[in-house]
Amino acid sequence: MRNHRFRPSVLIAFSVIVFFSYSSTIAGAQTFRRDTEDQTNRRDTEAQTFRRGVVVAREANAADAGRDALRAGGNAIDAAIATALAMAVTHPEAGNIGGGGFIVAYIAKSKQVITYDFRETAPLASTERMYLDANDRPLPHHRAGPRAAGVPGTLRGLELAHREYGSLPWRKLVEPAIRSAREGFAITDHVAKTLNRELAAKTPVDRTQMNKLADFPASVSAFSKRDRSPWKAGDSLVQPELAATLERIADRGADDFYAGETARLIVRYMEEGGGLITRQDLASYRAKRREPIHTTFKGFDIYGIGPSASGGITIALMLNILERYDLKADGPRSIRTLHRVTEAMRRGFLTRALYLGDPDFESIDVNKLISKEYANEMAKSIDDGRATPSANLAPFRVILAEGEHTTHLSTIDAAGNAVALTYTLEDSFGSRAVVPGAGFLLNNEMGDFNLIPGRTDTAGRIGTKPNVIAPGKRMLSSQSPTIVLKDGRVHVVTGSPGGRTIPNTTLWVLLNLLEFDLDPAAAVAAPRTHHAWFPDIIQVERALFHDDVVKPLERLGHRVKAVDIQGDAHTIVVDERTGVRRGVPDPRHETAKAAGD
């Protein structure tokens, strides 16, 4: 690790502590009275029970494609690949071949956890300040259009996983996606509404604010109804250009995307549209096998994803901090639990900002950051009677600021192999730009770099060095596919979308299952919170946003705000005793499904 002067125990010495007229007992075990109400207010799903294999994913046709791969004799890796490819067609806002992501997988035969990093990379022509004007203001093209795109990684990642551990022929895994693209599939109300919103033209069109599908002609033609009337649930979305692209990929593998006809179409669009991705960028892209992040939590083995994702290290650190407490005695909604979890999140995200980036560019002392000693050091500054102001933990000046979309799927097969796969275009519909002639959306993942070097502010903008732009570098991700083993066997497969909320959503699912012993459906449904160091504010799902939660947290010095929902954690829980698999689609989205046998 690079030398650093940051020592939490020293920093806390100059924390400004304001004493109020109550003591630490205020933060005590006041179990939140609306517990049962919260659960029943939700469209709660019963976990579905399976004996052999299961796929849980955001979109039902794609979950069925994965289940069919299992039925055809495929394993959990095949099922995850078939589901991910199908979602590139049936869940266009996040499913993708033009984005990137991560896999954590358990291989039963070798009793090994492996991970794949297929995160996008910055094009070779990128520069540190490429999205800034002379006054450090972000330029409009940093969030939409071809210039916002990193070099996609999804197909190289799926191909690598398939080559190493898949068992069905590649073409068989692509076929359900081709079928849905060519023949069409019935869209849900959610897809109809999001497409209508994205396709509604702005008046007058503001050229500096091109940020909808409507702003890009190839996107309009890929996602509009033939008669241009608004979409409604049940309409069939047919994507002929995407079908042709997937046909080539079925025939020639990922090479078509990175060096064949699809590469040609991408590069042509970049040249015409002012994007940066070249033939060389595509040809030199590599998906990588990496070491998993491992920690223990109260008898469970937690396996997560390492850099270039931040999820594994952040979650390991938060669990290492939290395992010193008997959270169960207080309950998941007690003020003291919410306070302690927030303080762990604050320190997890501080660590993320200070040290994490692309491991091929930054030297990261992973073993130190996930050690129990580092967690002990971080925990020393936690005060049960008072929120730690985030600015007090920063080892540099924080500037006072003036002023979702990804998807996760989980699979397991009869032999006990399992896959946690999260992948993304970054925003919903990514850069909004479909590659003309190829029918798929490009990501806008470049926005995950720290865009303004040196500027870390109270609004949550991070300017630390490990994640500034460099040619060929992977932008830091919050994705957190996670597998928990108990006594050497898969117990939980989980993960979520949600940008920086991802590690915290995943943390709550893990705590609800492993610490609070909630049943699987309740563990996924239970309200979640989020704190990311900056902004120094706890985000709380509305189901938990009540005076008897908010007021005591405010008295501890926290600022609290409500959000409707946080995350989308499609989870599998295996009963340790019986081996029964429970598939839990997150009830926050009605289109999710558990499919299996």
- Residues of this chain that interact with ligand DON (CB under 6 A) are 404-406, 424, 426, 445, 448, 477-479, 497-499, 502
The least CB distance from residue 467 to ligand DON, in Å, is 11
Known catalytic residue: 115? no
Is 290 in a helix, a strand, or coil? strand
Return the number of the residue (94 or 387) whose C-beta is nearest ligand DON.
94
The Cα 369–Cα 350 span in angstroms is 12
Integer Cα distance of 458 and 123 in angstroms: 30
CB of 479 to ligand DON, least distance (A): 5
> Shortest distance, CB of residue 276 to ligand DON, whole angstroms?
18
Per-residue 3-state assignment (H helix, E strand, C coil) for 123-166: CCCCCCCCCECCCCCECHHHCCCHHHCCECCHHHHHHHHHHHHC
Q: Is 424 helix (H, G, I), strand (E, B) or coil?
A: strand
Strand runs labelled E in 406-488 = 406-412, 418-424, 482-486
Name the active-site residue from 337, 406, 494, 529: 406
Query: Least distance from C-beta 498 to ligand DON, angstroms?
Result: 5
3-state secondary structure string across 385-398: CECCCHHHHCCCCC
User: Could you identify the residue written with the tokens 């039902």?
Assistant: 60
- Nearest approach in angstroms of CB 345 to ligand DON is 15
Q: How far is the CB of 440 from ligand DON (least distance, A)?
A: 17
Neighbours of 186 (CB within 10 A): 13
CB contact burial 25-43 (16+ within 10 A = b; e otherwise): ebbeebebeebeebbeebe
CB 380 within 8 A of CB 373: no
Nearer to ligand DON, 198 or 426 (CB): 426
Query: How far is 290 from 287, CA to CA, in rounded Å?
Result: 10
* Of 143 and 593, CB closest to ligand DON: 143
| Nearer Cβ to ligand DON (106/118) | 118
**Contact residues for 318 (Cβ-Cβ < 8 A; gap 6+):** 341, 344, 345, 347, 348, 503, 507
Smaller CB separation from ligand DON, 48 or 83: 83
Q: Which is nearer to ligand DON, 413 or 445 (CB)?
A: 445
First to last CA, the chain: 47
**Residue closest to 184 by CA, chosen among 67, 97, 248, 89:** 89
| Tokens coding 376 | 């002990």
Residues 6+ apart with CB under 8 A from 542: 527, 562, 563, 564, 565
Residue nearest to ligand DON (CB): 404
Q: Least CB distance from residue 379 to ligand DON, whole Å? A: 26
Nearer to ligand DON, 385 or 498 (CB): 498
Return the DSSP state at 245. H
> Which residues are tagged catalytic?
406
